[in-house]
Amino acid sequence: MNSQYHDIINTFEQFASWEDRYRFLMKAGKNLADFPDKYRTEQNLVQGCESQVWLHIEISNDELKCFADADARIVKGLLFILLTPLNGLNAKQIATFDLNGYFEQLALIKHLSPSRGNGLLSIANTIQQTAHKLSE
């Protein structure tokens, strides 16, 4: 796990309330890597999300690079929380990364609406399935 994983967990633990965590999420979305317009296609549009969410995964050798964007600030923050600990990992590491455990440490899913939580889990599963196929 990279240090950004621990930084996010430590940051979340510092907040006394979920209102503070939501504010952090909305600000964190500004740190999401730029999403090139050429990836804003129907093919990259994630189905089943409450907001419009685009996900593009590039594969080079054993490395996955994920780009994502959304039309809602809180969702952009959730994408940042999802993608940050995966940055710099190879396909096998991403495929075996315990994202459910990570989300539990953040107590994230239980504080999201069911559709947002399901959307986030769907995006996480898509990334991990792609990584799993690559690492076989």
Q: Would you list the domain boundaries of the chain?
A: 3-135
Per-residue pLDDT at 77: 95
pLDDT at 114: 87
In angstroms, the CA 107 to CA 41 distance is 32
Quote the pLDDT of residue 2: 65
In the chain, which residues have pLDDT < 50?
none
Helices (H), ranges, the chain = 3-14, 18-28, 73-83, 91-96, 99-106, 114-135
Adjacent-strand bridge partners of 55: 68
pLDDT of 1: 61
Query: Taking a C-beta distance cutoff of 8 angstroms, is the pair 56, 39 a contact?
Result: yes
H-only helix segments in 29-71:
none
Q: Is the pTM of this model over 0.75?
A: yes
- Residues with a known catalytic role: 49
Q: What is the C-alpha to C-alpha distance for residues 49 and 79, in angstroms, rounded to an integer?
A: 12
In CATH terms, 3-135 corresponds, of 1.10.10.10, 3.90.1010.10, 2.30.42.10, 3.40.30.10, to: 3.90.1010.10
C-beta of residue 2 within 8 angstroms of C-beta of residue 85: yes
Rounded Cα distance, 8 and 91, in Å = 22
